[in-house]
Amino acid sequence: MQYDPKVLRKLQLVELGILKDVDKVCRENDITYFLDSGSVLGAVRHGGFIPWDDDIDIGMPREDYDRFVAIAQDELGDGYLVSNPENNPYQSAQFTKVMLKGTRFVNDETEDAGFEMGVFIDVLPYDALSSNATQEKKQRRCCFLWQSLSYLRCSGHIVVPHQGVLGSIEKVLCRCAHYVVKRIFSAEAINAKFDEVARSANTDDHAKCLLVMSYALSKAYPETMMLPPKPIIFEGEEFFGPANPIGFLESLYGDTWNQLPPEHLRRNHAPKLLEFG
């Protein structure tokens, strides 16, 4: 699906409204958060959304994330649904989605999983990465495994890394693996295993780097790069961003982060069905 520019802008503004409400809850309850990933790039490079982008990500240290999850549904009220694998067995991603009730954001994966997903923003927990090299590799490997199994259990429609014949083969294998994983593992077992490993280094006094364990093979960030968060302007509003947003962007995207990519690489998550209610 290709967005009509007016539809894309409407989606962005709905997501901005969700972010404002989440920001309000965090400020009132002294919960630390920061804009993450492409939302930081958009804030610094464009002053708001990346023009073709369609989502908002925020990160939280694990302790703050746990506090947010515990209170968010009550604080945000009946207009929202706070979804994560602990309260929604149809959600595969090991983090939280704050969704606006009455909206629909449907793609192949959520439809196959039976996940009634609305327009959302993602709330990502940051955990410590073990300071021991051997334990770090194990932590990354295990989190990647359990997150992958979570995706496979919920849906056979997995985004594969290749196109053409190889991509078609990968899709067939994922579809077969979906039925196998669903028979062997319960959602509760996968969630518990992932959570145990993700949190395993949070008591490591020598740990210096933070990582969203759902993306366990990604680059980790020095804690001082992310914390304490600093004010950042996004769509004319003040929110919070990483302590060193430029360093974060250089680490995530490289030295060319401030250059626009070619048009064929300007991707988003355009769903097969989008309803604003």
Q: What is the DSSP string of 82-95?
A: EE-TTT-TT--SSS
What is the distance between the alpha carbons of residues 257 and 155, in angstroms, rounded to a whole number?
33
**Where would I find the H helices in the chain?**
5-28, 38-46, 62-76, 108-113, 133-154, 164-184, 187-198, 223-226, 245-253
pTM (predicted TM-score): 0.93
Amino acid at site 16: L
Query: Between residues 164 and 257, which one has the greater pLDDT?
Result: 257
Average pLDDT over residues 235-262: 97
DSSP single-letter state for residue 133: H
What is the distance between the alpha carbons of residues 206 and 199, in angstroms, rounded to a whole number?
15
What is the distance between the alpha carbons of residues 136 and 128, in angstroms, rounded to a whole number?
10
What is the distance between the alpha carbons of residues 176 and 12, in angstroms, rounded to a whole number?
36
What is the distance between the alpha carbons of residues 243 and 108, in angstroms, rounded to a whole number?
36
State the pLDDT confidence band at 160, using cuts at 50, 70 and 90. low
State the pLDDT confidence band at 1, using cuts at 50, 70 and 90. low
What is the pLDDT at residue 3?
Answer: 85
> Omega of the bond prior to 125 within 30 degrees of 0, cis?
no
What is the pLDDT at residue 167?
Answer: 78
